[in-house]
């Protein structure tokens, strides 16, 4: 398939979103409408401003002090309904950037906002509250597979179908049946510039419950994930995680685009992912932060005893990274730079093979 996402393909994806709402209506269920949750952090100070100028039917999912501090970079819920101009803008400016998910619902904007606010923060197996970026389609597609039955039912309560991009060309639809069965449909935009892709399946297919340890998982008072649930989405999809790390490094270190080829950056990202897992660092944001330290100072910065001592502390990854970023004397990072070994990137991969 061509890497160019054409207007025809964009229109095809948009039409499938509209058709999904129509099919629910034709099935005799209560009238559903199309909504989107948009991650304003993909373009801070722009997305939230444009949304509020475009429609009154949008609402920030953060409230109180969090909204005051982060409204321009927080998730925003927008009711698309029959407003094709809103959908056109989302497809043109947001879709394909990992910046939104879509869903159908018969409930009001306020009801849906209150529903999804329940999932902004979740708990890990240690009982710590962490942000859950379910509105990132990459993460949603990973985590929906590892939800327990109760978590599926809690998340899809009052929701018809959730749509999340797998790539610009592939949209994944998930829904929950009345019996609590998760079902999935993969929608592939045909390649009009080359060979046609096989047609998308016409029927939703059942998705089995994950065969992982979900001990301690729950839904109240917060959605709580077991350690295996938190790790699985990243362990199952290393290709997408590598892509995410590469994009992060390109954004965080703009000069890297001129210094390294894409294939070289992919090697670095794969090595960072392997080493991050070794130190029990599993979430996307934490892996990216860890990779940035490897890129900035040394791929083998853990050869410095003081830095390795932090990495092996019996503390959450977020806390260990915070120590490295803000409470570690510069002399240790200087030592890491002096011992930098560029061949270490490849050696990490070779040793893990």
Mean pLDDT taken over the chain: 89
SS3 171: strand
Give every CB contact of residue 287 below 8 A, 6+ residues apart in sequence: 234, 241, 245, 272, 273, 276, 281
Query: Tell me: the pLDDT tens digits for 175-199?
Result: 999 999 999 999 988 875 545 555 5
List the one residue out of 70, 13, 18, 19 whose CA is nearest residue 47: 70
Q: For 29-43, 116-130, 138-152, 312-326, which range has the lowest pLDDT when averaged over its residues? A: 29-43
SS3 of residue 239 by DSSP: helix
Residue 164: name the closest of 5, 10, 37, 4 by CA.
37
**Nearest alpha carbon to residue 81 among 50, 58, 53, 47:** 58
For residue 131, pLDDT beyond 60: yes
The pLDDT score that the predictor gives to residue 181 is: 95
Higher pLDDT, 203 or 219: 219
Summarised one tens digit per residue, pLDDT across range 86-107 is 999 999 999 988 899 999 999 9
Q: Over the stretch 17-49, which tens digit does the pLDDT of each residue have?
A: 998 887 765 666 678 899 999 998 877 777 878
Q: Which range among 64-78, 108-122, 188-202 has the greatest average pLDDT?
A: 108-122
pLDDT band at residue 223 under the 50/70/90 scheme = very high
Which pair of tokens denotes residue 109? 């904007």
Q: How confident is the model at residue 1 (pLDDT cuts 50, 70, 90)?
A: very low
Distance, CA of 73 to CA of 138 (rounded, Å): 18
DSSP state of 218: B
**Which of the pair, 1 or 186, is modelled with greater confidence?**
186
In the numeric block, the tokens 């070779």 are attached to 350
When comparing pLDDT for 46 and 134, which is higher? 134
The answer on pLDDT for 123 being more than 50 is yes
pTM of the model: 0.74
Look at residue 3 in the predicted model and tell me its pLDDT.
Answer: 63
Q: How far apart are CA 184 and CA 212, in angstroms?
A: 20
3-class SS letters over 221-236: CCCECCHHHHHHHHHH
Average pLDDT value for residue range 63-68: 80
Q: Give yes or no for a cis peptide into 162 (omega within 30° of 0).
A: no
Q: Please indicate whether residue 330 or residue 258 has the higher confidence score (pLDDT).
A: 330
Report the run of H or E that residue 167 belongs to, with start and end: strand 161-167
């Amino acid at each position: 398939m061509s890497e160019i996402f054409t207007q025809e393909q964009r229109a095809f994806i948009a039409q499938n979103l509209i058709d999904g709402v129509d099919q629910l209506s034709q099935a005799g269920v209560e009238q559903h409408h199309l909504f989107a949750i948009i991650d304003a952090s993909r373009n801070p100070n722009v997305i939230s401003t444009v949304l509020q100028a475009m429609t009154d039917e949008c609402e920030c999912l953060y409230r109180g002090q969090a909204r005051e501090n982060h409204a321009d970079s927080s998730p925003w819920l927008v009711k698309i309904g029959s407003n094709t101009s809103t959908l056109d803008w989302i497809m043109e400016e947001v879709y394909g950037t990992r910046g939104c998910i879509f869903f159908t619902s018969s409930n009001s904007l306020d009801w849906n906002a209150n529903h999804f606010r329940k999932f902004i923060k979740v708990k890990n197996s240690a009982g710590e509250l962490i942000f859950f970026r379910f509105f990132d389609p990459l993460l949603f597609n990973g985590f929906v597979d590892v939800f327990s039955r109760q978590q599926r039912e809690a998340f899809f309560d009052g929701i018809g179908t959730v749509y999340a991009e797998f790539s610009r060309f592939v949209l994944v639809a998930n829904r929950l049946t009345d019996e609590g069965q998760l079902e999935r449909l993969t929608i592939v935009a045909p390649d009009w510039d080359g060979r046609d892709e096989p047609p998308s399946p016409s029927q939703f297919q059942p998705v089995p419950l994950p065969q992982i340890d979900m001990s301690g998982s729950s839904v109240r008072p917060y959605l709580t994930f077991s350690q295996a649930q938190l790790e699985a989405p990243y362990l199952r999809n290393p290709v997408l995680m590598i892509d995410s790390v590469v994009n992060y490094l390109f954004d965080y270190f703009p000069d890297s685009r001129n210094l390294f080829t894409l294939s070289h950056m992919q090697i670095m990202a794969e090595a960072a992912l392997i080493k991050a897992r070794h130190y029990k660092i599993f979430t996307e944001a934490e892996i990216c932060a860890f990779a940035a330290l490897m890129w900035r100072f040394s791929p083998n910065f853990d050869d410095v005893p003081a830095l390795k001592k932090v990495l092996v502390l019996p503390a959450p990854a977020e806390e260990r990274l915070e120590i490295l970023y803000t409470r570690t004397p510069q002399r240790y990072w200087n030592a890491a730079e002096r011992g930098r070994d560029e061949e270490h990137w490849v050696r990490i991969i070779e040793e893990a093979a």
